[in-house]
Amino acid sequence: MTIAKGDRLPDVKLTKVTPDGPDAIQSADYFAGRKVALFSVPGAYTPTCSARHLPGFVERAAELKAKGVEEIACTAVNDAFVMGAWNESAGSSDITMLADGNGEFAEALGLVMDGSKFGMGKRGQRFSMIVDDGVVTELNVEQPGDFQVSTAEYMLGQL
């Protein structure tokens, strides 16, 4: 079953990328008590993700925070080291990287895509959501191949 507006996020292990290295966290703890803009990409360093998705959130971080977002987080089915390197090369300190190395978060959300024909295996779909104290208040899932509703600009219109 796919997560929907009004649902509480599932509680699974994620790996938060920190300056001191990977930090295993529970999603329930991470999202508790604050408003988070979360976006998911099929993979770090992939074309649309690197050229448009991550840069859009980097560029719009101050605007999102001015509208009440306390944290901006990016998740992907990649390991913490890849997510950390991607944030260093293309991201910013305004973006928290949450590695979903085994795809457990994407699967628990019901937002898995099969990228096997591209040699990528199972990945998380491209989406964005606003999470307020662990509850999804906005959910924007892209159709395969699209990049319209998961953008930072689209999210700004929802706040």
pLDDT of residue 51: 79
Domain membership of residue 4 (yes or no) is no
pLDDT of residue 121: 66
CATH number at residue 60: 3.40.30.10
Determine contact, residues 37/130, Cβ cutoff 8 Å. yes
Confirm whether 8 is domain-assigned.
no
User: Residue 6 domain-assigned?
Assistant: no
In this predicted model, what pLDDT tens digit does every residue of 73-132 receive, in sequence order? 999 999 999 999 999 999 899 999 999 999 999 999 999 987 777 767 687 999 999 999
Position 2 in a domain: no
Please state, as a whole number, how many other Cβ atoms lie within 10 Å of the Cβ of residue 16.
17
**Domain, as residue range, for 49:** 13-158
Return the pLDDT at 122: 86
pLDDT at 27 over 80: yes
- β-pair partners for 128: 39, 140
Q: Is residue 7 part of a domain?
A: no
Q: How many CB atoms lie within 10 A of CB 119?
A: 6
Residues tagged active-site? 49
Fill in the DSSP letter of residue 9.
P
Distance of CA 48 to the CA centre of its chain: 14
Q: Is residue 1 part of a domain?
A: no
- State the Cα–Cα distance between residues 113 and 134, nearest whole angstrom: 23
Contacts of 159 (CB under 8 A, 6+ apart): 64, 67, 68, 69, 130
* CB contact set of 144 (below 8 Å; sequence gap of 6+): 113
What mean pLDDT is predicted for residues 16-44?
96
C-beta atoms surrounding 66 within 10 Å: 11
> Residue written as tokens 């104290």?
133
- Name the more confident of 140 and 118: 140
d(CA 102, CA 135): 23
Give the tens place of pLDDT for each residue, 35-76: 999 999 998 988 777 778 999 999 999 999 999 999 999 999
Residue 114 located in a structural domain = yes
- Averaged pLDDT for residues 14-35: 96
Quote the number of domains for the chain: 1
Q: Give the predicted TM-score (pTM) of the model.
A: 0.94
| 86 neighbors 45 (Cβ within 8 angstroms) | yes
- pLDDT confidence of residue 145: 86
